[in-house]
Amino acid sequence: MNYINSLATKVHSVAVFRNLLKDDVMKSLLNLLDSGECNVSHKVDLYSQFVCELYNHSENLSEYIFRIVTNDENVFIRKVANGQIVSDEINECVRAELSVFEEISMLTPDKMRDFVGFDGFLPPWKIREIDFLTEYFNRCADIGKFGYGIYAKYHMFNVKDGVICPVKHPDPVTLADLSGYKNERQAVIDNTKALLEGKPAANILLSGDAGTGKSSTIKAVVNEFKNQGLRIIEVRKDQLVDIPVIIDELSVNPLKFILFIDDLSFNQTDDNFSALKAILEGSVSAKSSNVAIYATSNRRHIVKESFKERDSSDDIHRNDTVQELMSLSERFGLSITFVKPSKECYLDIVKNIAQHHNIKYDEEKMFMEAERFALIKGGRSARVAKQFVDGLLSKQ
């Protein structure tokens, strides 16, 4: 058995990392390694198909193989993450298979060209030495920072049909992109640090005027701390009933999670009102030390109520009902209010954003135009300030 046939057999023998054989790059590489009896033309086709798949993700074979190995969700990593004892048999298997994938990662274009037997041009790729065994077990020792499975590959998620799905192109906003509201953002940062450190962290309600940066603050904080093991899952209001199941799933994960509910508000008859109330305080199952709920609302009291509904109510204990409606926002451990900025604050936000983008502009003229823009938009806000500066950028 020659070297290529031997390597192909080793790949077919993997058990713990068997899911990796479904990866498009690995499938195309394995097809090439298995093509020993095929003619040159067919081997060339398989070779080029493999490189095409690799180029879609990386030009470096070693780095790509290492990435899919470390992101793989398997029986070994789940046991490690849950603090369970890993048997000697599985440990031995993992070490042997890591050696196989390290060997695969060092396949050179020259070696594969010799195997194909074609003298013409064939597309190349890069490799570099990586100690798979050491690096993999180092990541396992710090699993609370790196995670595993989809949570190792992505950091922002949403929920579709009850399933947590990755957001492949998340909002890249950073704390450096945001101006104003320093104290409000610091409160969110401090609470998030407590969550990451395993300390008691509050569920947060960010309420206040539209366009003040409530949602952007949450996403920027997640982007800031994603490399420390923080992930975010956006949940729509109509998905609140799924939160207990989601928290049960996340409770055994070594990472820290923010469940993000944007633009939260309810009508009195909304069934989701009771669901959220139970999640925040009443439900035994909906509590986990690695999960916090961050919600935003343009209303301080997030249950809508009209005077007509209040006057026409036939509730005998009307005062108790009103108190229940008003107290929902109080069930959040931390409430932070974002108010519309004053003129001075608004112009300071404009100035900071302009400086962040290195815009050269006469300050007095810029402020005059910024005020005019705010008047057209119906009022001052951080969003309006950003839209104004975006307009300046488009003109440069």
Sign of CA dihedral 72, 78, 81, 84: negative
Query: Angle at the Cα of 299 (from 181 to 274), degrees rounded to 5?
Result: 125
What is the distance between the alpha carbons of residues 80 and 253, in angstroms, rounded to a whole number? 10
- pLDDT tens digits, one per residue of 160-207: 988 999 999 999 999 988 888 889 999 999 999 999 999 999 999 998
Q: Enumerate residues 6+ apart whose C-beta is below 8 A from 75.
A: 16, 90
Question: Mind spelling out the 3-state secondary structure of 41-53?
Answer: HHHHHHHHHHHHH
Q: State residue 328's pLDDT score.
A: 66
Q: Enumerate residues 6+ apart whose C-beta is below 8 A from 353.
A: 177, 179, 385, 386, 389
- Tokens for 92, please give them: 């031995």
Given a contact cutoff of 8 angstroms between Cβ atoms, the answer to whether 274 and 241 are in contact is no
- pLDDT tens digits, one per residue of 26-50: 999 999 999 988 999 999 999 999 9
pLDDT for 302 beyond 50: yes
CA distances from 13 to 9, 46, 93 (A): 6, 22, 10
What is the DSSP secondary-structure string of 244-296?
HHHHHHHTTSSSEEEEEE-S--EETT-HHHHHHHIIIII-SSS--TTEEEEEE
Whole-structure pTM value: 0.81
Q: State residue 41's pLDDT score.
A: 95
Task: With cut-offs at 50, 70 and 90, classify the pLDDT of residue 14.
Answer: very high
What is the distance between the alpha carbons of residues 240 and 243, in angstroms, rounded to a whole number? 5
Given a contact cutoff of 8 angstroms between Cβ atoms, the answer to whether 342 and 138 are in contact is no
Q: State residue 63's pLDDT score.
A: 98
**What rounded mean pLDDT belongs to the chain?**
88
pLDDT for 291 beyond 70: yes
Q: State residue 270's pLDDT score.
A: 63
